[in-house]
Amino acid sequence: MHRIGVAAGVAAALAIIIPCAFHGKAGAAGIYEDAPAESAFLLSPEQITVRGTLEATSGGAEGSVYRLLAAFPVRRAFFISIDQPFVALTDSSGIETGLGDLRLRARARLWGGGGRTICLLGYLSAGTGNSRFFPFSSQTIDLNTSAGYADSLGTLTVWAIAGYTWVSNYPDREDVVAAVTDYLRVSAGASLALGSRTGVGVGALILSYANDARRDLLFATGSYRWTDALGLFADVQVETGPVGERVNDWGAIGGVSVGF
C-alpha cells in the first residue's frame, strides 16, 4: 500500500505539472532542451549503449541537431554517458554548421529494490562547441545536480526528477547573457510497456530561471526493440507559452540505439 501511495504521489505531481505547463508564462531564457533526455537517462538499463539521433525543431529558432551518445556502467552503482551534438542552424543568412557543446551525464544509484529506485543525477555541459549556435549551443559551462525517483508497477513506471543547474563562462553577447542564467528544473512523467518490445511515455519539464523567466515543455516518447540489441525510438516535445517568448515551438527526435 505504501508503494502504491508513493506512485500515486508522483502521478499527482505529474497531473499538477501538466496543467501548469499549459497556463504558465514561458520566458525567453535558456537554450534548446531535449526534454525527454533526462528521464531516458534515469530509466536506462545499466548496459553499454550507443545512440544516434536526429532532432528537428521549428518556431523561434529553427535548426537540426545530430547527436551521438555513448553510455556505460562504472562498477555497480554508477552509470555515465557522453553526448556530442552536431548543430545545423538555419537563419536569414543561411545555414551554419559545427560541433555543439559536449555533455557528460552521471547517475549514482543510492537505493533500489522491488522495482523502486532513488538516484543522484548530474550533468556537465562542457562548453566545448566550436561556435555559439545560439540557442542550440551557447559554449557556457553548465553544472547540474538532481535527485531522481522511479517506481515500476508492472507495465507502468512513474518517475520524477528535481534539481538545479549553475551556468558559468557567460558569452559577451548581450542577448545570450540575458538568456543563460542559473535555473531550477523539475520534471515528472510515466511510461507504459506495451508488450515485450514496445513502450510509450509522457512527461512534463518546468525550468525556472534566476531572472524570473520560466519555460514549460510537454513531451511524449515511443520506443520499439527491433532485436535484443537494436532499438528504435521517436520523441516529440512542445514548448508552451506566448509564441514570441519560446525558444522553440516544437521538436521531433528520432534515433537508433544499440546495446551491448
DSSP per residue, 112-127? EETTEEEEEEEEEE--
Q: What is the pTM of this model?
A: 0.85
Q: pLDDT digits over 28-87, tens only?
A: 567 888 999 999 999 999 999 999 999 998 876 678 999 999 999 998 789 999 999 999
User: Phi and psi for 14 in degrees, rounded to 5?
Assistant: -65, -40
Domains of the chain (ranges, CATH numbers) = 2-259 (2.40.160.40)
Contact status, residue 191 vs residue 198, Cβ threshold 8 Å: no
pLDDT in tens, 181-240: 899 999 999 999 999 899 999 999 999 988 888 889 999 999 999 998 999 999 999 998
Q: What is the pLDDT of residue 123?
A: 97
Q: How confident is the model at residue 27 (pLDDT cuts 50, 70, 90)?
A: very low
How many Å apart are CA 66 and CA 56, to the nearest integer?
9
Cβ-contact 16, 216 below 8 angstroms: no
108, 114, 115, 116: CA torsion to nearest 10: -50
Nearest Cα to 18, choosing from 234, 243, 205?
205
Alpha helix (H) ranges present in 25-152?
A: 37-43
Nearest Cα residue to 73 out of 107, 39, 50: 107
Q: H or E element: which one contains 104?
A: strand 103-113
